[in-house]
């Protein structure tokens, strides 16, 4: 077990290095550089100074080397856009996204998976309706979903139409701040959770349907196990194996932040930061964000494997060999 985790840690590190290096190189190779942020009327001296400060006169590989050496000492460079060290920016943004991601994941899990179990094990109007709604959620682009939710929020005034905190919270204390964030969470969380719940529902339904036809289910029923017991204790667990892989992916993707949702709902998260860094060709910020994304994916990967391990005894046995 320990060996397993250590090996995964080693690979995760490799992954993070590979991804952030690629991101940095790709940003250098893309047309334009961060000096375009100074605008088309920028002075030559300002451009030269910016290029010097951010090592743009070095070759891409040279810059990568320099960055890697500093990164080993946990110095991830500065951001041009914000004129601050990259690590502080990413820490804050990642934290905000993590809050959103965990909420969205929870909602998607507690809504999508039970609904999937239902649609996978029954026929009838209810199942068809749920299926229809799922498919609808999958057909609408996240841009429109977010905008529609902002539209809804601004029309009804039930929820704040964007942002992470309100102005009033400026003067308030800790608990009021927490409450304030919780009021702002539903909008972006819902925008993220709807398509995810739909995905979970579809996959769970399919996995459920297959499992139900297995001989052990009929055998259990013959033994006298009730339908409800059967679903939860026996069938569901067996259907988990493909879900786990997807779940791990979902964790990784959510934690990296969905740019569209964060952009439209003005949530100050990692996805938005990454997109704006890329748009502005802010090299070090891009590398930092990619590294963070790599870390999260690695976490998600490990979680997925652990879940699979816990849920499926066959895999447990196989790994023990």
Partner 1 sequence: MRAAGGVLLVLMVFVAVAAPWLAPNPPDQQFDTYLYAPPTPFHWTSFSSLRLINRLERRFEVREQAVPVRWFGAGHFVSSADANAPLLLLGADSYGRDIFARLVYGGRASLGISVLATLITMIVGAAIGGIAGYAGGAVDEVLSRFSDFVLVLPSIYVVLALRAVMPLVLPPAQVFALLVGIFALVSWPVVARGVRGIIASEREREYVTAGLAAGAGPMRLLAVHLMPAARGYLLTQATLLLPAFILAEATLSYVGLGFPTSVPTWGTMLSDASNVALVGEAPWMLAPAAAIFLVVLAVNLVVQGRGRSPIQFDVDGRRS
Partner 2 sequence: MKARLLGIVVTAAILAGGYWVWTSPDGAGGLGRQNAEREGGPQHRGGQLVTSGRAGPRTFNRFVGQDQLSSVLSMLTMGHLLRVNLSTFEVEPWLAEKWDASADNLTYTFHLRPGLMWSDGVPFTADDVVFSLKAIFDAKTGSYLQDVLSVDGKPITADAPDASTVVIHFPAPSGPGLRLLDSLWVMPKHKLESALAAGTFAKAWGTDTSPSDLAGMGPFVIREYVPNQRIVLDRNPHYWRKADDGTQLPYLDRIVYEVIPDQDAELLRLQSGDVDLTQSELRPDDYVPAKRAEDQGKLKLAEVGLSPKADAFWFNLKPEAWKSDPRFAFVRKREFRQAISYAVDREKYAENVYLGAAVPIWGPVTPGNTLWFWPDVPRYFHDVNKAKEVLKSIGLEDRNGNGVVEDAQGREARFTVLTQRGVGWYERGLAELRTQLAPVGIAIEAAPLENAALIQRMLGSDYEAMYQRFGTTDLDPASELDMWLSSGDAHFWHMGDAHPEPWETEIDALMKSNMTTPDQAKRKEIFKQVQRIHAENLPVLYFVAPRMYYAYNVRVQGVKPSVLRPVALWNADMLSVR
Residue 291 to residue 13: CA distance in whole angstroms: 10
Around Cβ 88, how many Cβ atoms within 10 Å? 12
Crossing angle (nearest 10°) for helices 240-256 and 86-121: 150
Among 3-11, 79-87, 106-114, 235-243, which window interacts with partner 2 (CB under 8 A)? 79-87
Of residues 89 and 207, the one with the C-beta less far from partner 1:
207
Of residues 25 and 245, the one with the C-beta less far from partner 2:
25
36 scored as a contact of partner 2 (CB under 8 A): yes
Crossing angle (nearest 10°) for helices 240-256 and 270-279: 60
Find out whether 163 and 126 touch, Cβ atoms under 8 Å: no
Segment 221 to 250, residues that bind partner 1, using CB under 8 A: 221, 224-227, 241-242, 244-246, 248-249
Segment 97 to 136, residues that bind partner 2, using CB under 8 A: 124-126, 129
141 scored as a contact of partner 1 (CB under 8 A): yes
274 binds, among partner 1, partner 2, none (CB under 5 to 8 A by kind): partner 1
11 binds, among partner 2, partner 1, none (CB under 5 to 8 A by kind): partner 1
**DSSP at 42:** -
87 binds, among partner 2, partner 1, none (CB under 5 to 8 A by kind): none
Of residues 252 and 269, the one with the C-beta less far from partner 1:
252
Burial string for 218-248 (b: 16+ CB within 10 Å, else e) reads eebeeeeeeeeebbeebbbebbbbebbbbbb
Rounded-to-10 torsion of CA 201, 100, 250, 239:
-40
Binding site for partner 2 (CB under 8 A): 30-33, 36-46, 49, 81-84, 89, 92-93, 124-126, 129, 146-147, 150-152, 154-158, 160-165, 167, 170, 263-266, 268, 272-273, 276, 279-281
């Amino acid at each position: 077990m320990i060996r397993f985790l250590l090996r995964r840690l080693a690979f995760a590190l490799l992954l993070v290095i590979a991804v952030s290096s690629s991101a940095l190189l790709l940003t250098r190779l893309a047309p334009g550089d961060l000096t375009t942020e100074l605008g088309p009327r920028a002075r030559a001296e300002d451009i030269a100074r910016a290029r010097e400060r951010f090592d743009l006169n070095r070759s891409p590989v040279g810059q990568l080397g320099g960055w890697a050496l500093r990164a080993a000492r946990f110095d991830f460079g500065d951001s041009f856009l914000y004129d601050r060290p990259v690590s502080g920016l990413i820490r804050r943004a990642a934290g905000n996204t993590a809050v959103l991601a965990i909420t969205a994941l929870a909602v998607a899990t507690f809504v999508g998976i039970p609904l999937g179990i239902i649609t996978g094990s029954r026929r009838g109007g209810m199942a068809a309706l749920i299926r229809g709604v799922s498919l609808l959620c999958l057909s609408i682009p996240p841009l429109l979903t977010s905008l529609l939710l902002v539209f809804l929020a601004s029309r009804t005034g039930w929820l704040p139409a964007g942002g992470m905190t309100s102005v009033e919270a400026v003067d308030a204390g800790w608990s009021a701040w927490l409450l304030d964030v919780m009021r702002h969470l539903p909008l972006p969380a819902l925008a993220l959770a709807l398509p995810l719940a739909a995905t979970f529902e579809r996959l769970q339904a399919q996995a459920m349907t297959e499992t139900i036809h297995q001989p052990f289910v009929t055998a259990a029923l013959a033994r006298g196990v009730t339908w409800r017991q059967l679903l939860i204790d026996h069938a569901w667990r067996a259907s988990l194996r493909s879900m786990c892989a997807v779940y791990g992916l979902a964790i990784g993707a959510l934690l990296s932040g969905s740019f569209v949702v964060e952009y439209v709902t003005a949530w100050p998260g990692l996805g938005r930061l990454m997109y704006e860094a890329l748009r502005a060709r802010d090299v070090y910020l891009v590398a930092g964000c990619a590294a963070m994304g790599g870390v999260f994916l690695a976490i998600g990967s490990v979680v997925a494997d652990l879940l699979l391990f816990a849920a499926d005894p066959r895999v447990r046995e196989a790994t023990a060999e």
